[in-house]
Amino acid sequence: MQIGIIGSGAMGSGIAQVAATAGHTVVLYDTNQEALVRARTQLEHILHRLVEKGRMTGQEVTDILQRHQFVDTMDAFRECGLVIEAIVENLDIKRSVFQTLESIVTREAILATNTSSLSIASIAAACQAPERVIGLHFFNPAPLMKLVEIIPALQTDPGLPSTLHQLMLSWGKYPVQARDTPGFIVNRIARPFYSESIRILEEGLGTKEEIDTAMKTIGGFRMGPFELMDFIGHDVNYAVTESVWTACYFEPRYQPSFTQRRLVDAGWLGRKSGRGFYDYRLGASPVETTGPGDSEKLRRIYERIVVMLINEAADALYYNIASRDDIDQAMTLGVNYPKGLLRWADEWGIATCEARMDRLFNNYHDPRYRCSPMLKSLAQQGERFYPNENI
Ligand SMILES: NC(=O)c1ccc[n+]([C@@H]2O[C@H](COP(=O)([O-])OP(=O)(O)OC[C@H]3O[C@@H](n4cnc5c(N)ncnc54)[C@H](O)[C@@H]3O)[C@@H](O)[C@H]2O)c1
């Protein structure tokens, strides 16, 4: 099957590489000629590095490159069985692109969007045949990140998720299924990693170095929240937070912070601009986050952030955003968490999680700290998320 990709930026070019490596011919389209040239140059560079590292043969690289077509017209999508859109995150532009696309492809073609935050239902609604539209959310960099969230819209043909599930397996990916809700699985459940860390900083209960240290040394996370936000970019991270918050009717748990807003205002976007929470400019002292610290304080910081993540995961299960296994796999494969959050809850004990949430709620009387009904009912019944497994 021929695969079409719209948008040859970071995501589109990565998805094209994955599909071509899996043996498909790929038609990669962009309105910006420079983006197409950049995509081709970067792909050649990446593939040749894989040869240098002995992970691919020269012949494989030649074949993958030959399976790529870089085009400046959507007419080239005529033969595609699946087209994946990965353009700018703007609903009106995406809807208009889907309308044009539908007038070109065959009636059988599947149309997918890689949107991170927009409603799949509203993109599908722009089409004459909305039942063929679905969300297919890859993670950055697409060739390295195993997770793909499959998001059927209200209108999507019920058979389509399993077709794409099989296809993603054949691309070497780990597909999970999410309901069409803001942030899907990963971008929703990960919010407290950033927002609770910023709260702790704002309250003066820990410095950014201490919070990063706590999450890495006690939590086992690869990067601390402040390092990670600097890496992602505050413009991107703030936009996702604000979008999930707004789309969830101003749910207090997802409320963005002034601290991050001011970094965006100042243009301190993180690594890419040389400054964020930390200073990356030439001559600045290196970021030091794993030094020794007040172990009791670090433990409290770690417990507060992780229990908020657990609560978020439990709530996602409660509201059927995804299955237990998909929620846990999504967080380990999509954002490299050291273990699934629901499994983590079992390890701590559900009653402990409930008590920690209740303590936060009683302290702040802020609805963002309300304990998920899922944790409450499991605690009441003395149950666990994984009742048949040894902890
Ligand atoms: N970057 C990430 O970490 C990430 C992760 C998952 C999903 N996404 C989503 O993937 C999509 C693309 O993100 P990205 O980071 O690759 O963006 P990007 O800015 O790197 O690339 C977007 C590309 O789309 C092209 N484009 C814009 N409008 C177009 C149009 N009308 N027709 C054809 N091409 C057009 C641009 O020229 C650009 O090359 C967004 O919806 C984003 O939310 C991004």
What DSSP letter does each residue of 137-189 carry, written as one string? EE-SSTTT--EEEEEE-TTS-TTHHHHHHHHHHHTT-EEEE--SSTTTTHHHH
Do residues 261 and 112 share a domain? no
Question: Is the CB–ligand 1 distance for residue 28 below 6 Å?
Answer: no
Q: What is the pLDDT of residue 289?
A: 66
What pTM was computed for the model?
0.94
Question: Is the CB–ligand 1 distance for residue 180 below 6 Å?
Answer: no
Do residues 35 and 159 share a domain? yes
Question: Is the CB–ligand 1 distance for residue 187 below 6 Å?
Answer: no
Do residues 194 and 153 share a domain? no
Question: Is the CB–ligand 1 distance for residue 255 below 6 Å?
Answer: no
pLDDT, one tens digit per residue, over 212-238 is 999 999 999 999 999 999 999 999 899
CATH number of the domain encompassing residue 31: 3.40.50.720
- Of 180, 202, 237, which residue is a domain's last? 180
Average confidence (pLDDT) over 139-164: 97
Q: What is the pLDDT of residue 61?
A: 95
Question: From atom 39 of ligand 1, which residue's Cα is the shortest distance away?
Answer: 9
- 86 with 6: CB under 8 angstroms? yes
**Residue 230 Cα, ligand 1 centroid: separation in angstroms?**
20
Among 137, 234, 303, 372, the active-site one is 137
Q: Average pLDDT over the chain, rounded to whole? A: 95
Do residues 176 and 228 share a domain? no
**Residue 205 Cα, ligand 1 centroid: separation in angstroms?**
38
Do residues 102 and 199 share a domain? no
CB count in 10 Å sphere of residue 359: 15
> How far apart are alpha carbons 114 and 136 in whole angstroms?
5
Question: From atom 15 of ligand 1, which residue's Cα is the shortest distance away?
Answer: 10
Question: From atom 2 of ligand 1, which residue's Cα is the shortest distance away?
Answer: 140
- HSE of 344 in the Cβ direction (CA atoms, 13 Å)? 25
**Catalytic residue at 187?**
yes
CATH number of the domain encompassing residue 232: 1.10.1040.50
102 to each of 30, 118, 129, 136, 278, how far by Cα in Å? Answer: 17, 19, 8, 18, 46
Question: Is the CB–ligand 1 distance for residue 151 below 6 Å?
Answer: no
**Residue 86 Cα, ligand 1 centroid: separation in angstroms?**
5
Do residues 332 and 375 share a domain? yes
Do residues 71 and 154 share a domain? yes
Residue 29 has pLDDT above 80, yes or no: yes
**Residue 6 Cα, ligand 1 centroid: separation in angstroms?**
8
Do residues 210 and 77 share a domain? no
> How far apart are alpha carbons 347 and 111 in whole angstroms?
41
- Of 145, 180, 215, which residue is a domain's last? 180
Question: Is the CB–ligand 1 distance for residue 30 below 6 Å?
Answer: yes
Q: What is the pLDDT of residue 97?
A: 98
pLDDT, one tens digit per residue, over 64-115 is 999 999 999 999 999 999 999 999 989 999 999 999 999 999 999 999 999 9
Ligand 1: atom nearest CA of 11 is: 16
**Catalytic residue at 149?**
yes
- Of 180, 200, 231, which residue is a domain's last? 180
**Residue 30 Cα, ligand 1 centroid: separation in angstroms?**
10
The 3-class secondary structure across 54-87, one letter per residue, is CCCCHHHHHHHHHCEEEECCHHHHCCCCEEEECC
- Is pLDDT larger for residue 294 or for residue 333? 333
Do residues 318 and 218 share a domain? yes
Question: Is the CB–ligand 1 distance for residue 330 below 6 Å?
Answer: no
Range of the domain at 147: 3-180
Do residues 76 and 133 share a domain? yes
Question: Is the CB–ligand 1 distance for residue 213 below 6 Å?
Answer: no
Do residues 194 and 310 share a domain? yes
Q: Total domain count for the chain?
A: 2
Average confidence (pLDDT) over 297-305: 97
- Categorize the per-residue pLDDT at 48 as very low, low, confident or very high, splitting at 50, 70 and 90: very high
- 385 with 342: CB under 8 angstroms? yes
pLDDT, one tens digit per residue, over 228-272 is 999 999 998 999 899 999 999 999 999 999 999 999 999 999 999
338's tokens:
């050291």
**Residue 101 Cα, ligand 1 centroid: separation in angstroms?**
16
Q: What is the pLDDT of residue 173?
A: 98
Question: Is the CB–ligand 1 distance for residue 156 below 6 Å?
Answer: no
CB count in 10 Å sphere of residue 123: 25
Average confidence (pLDDT) over 325-347: 97
Question: From atom 25 of ligand 1, which residue's Cα is the shortest distance away?
Answer: 7
pLDDT, one tens digit per residue, over 191-213 is 999 999 999 999 999 999 999 99
**Residue 85 Cα, ligand 1 centroid: separation in angstroms?**
8
Do residues 44 and 132 share a domain? yes
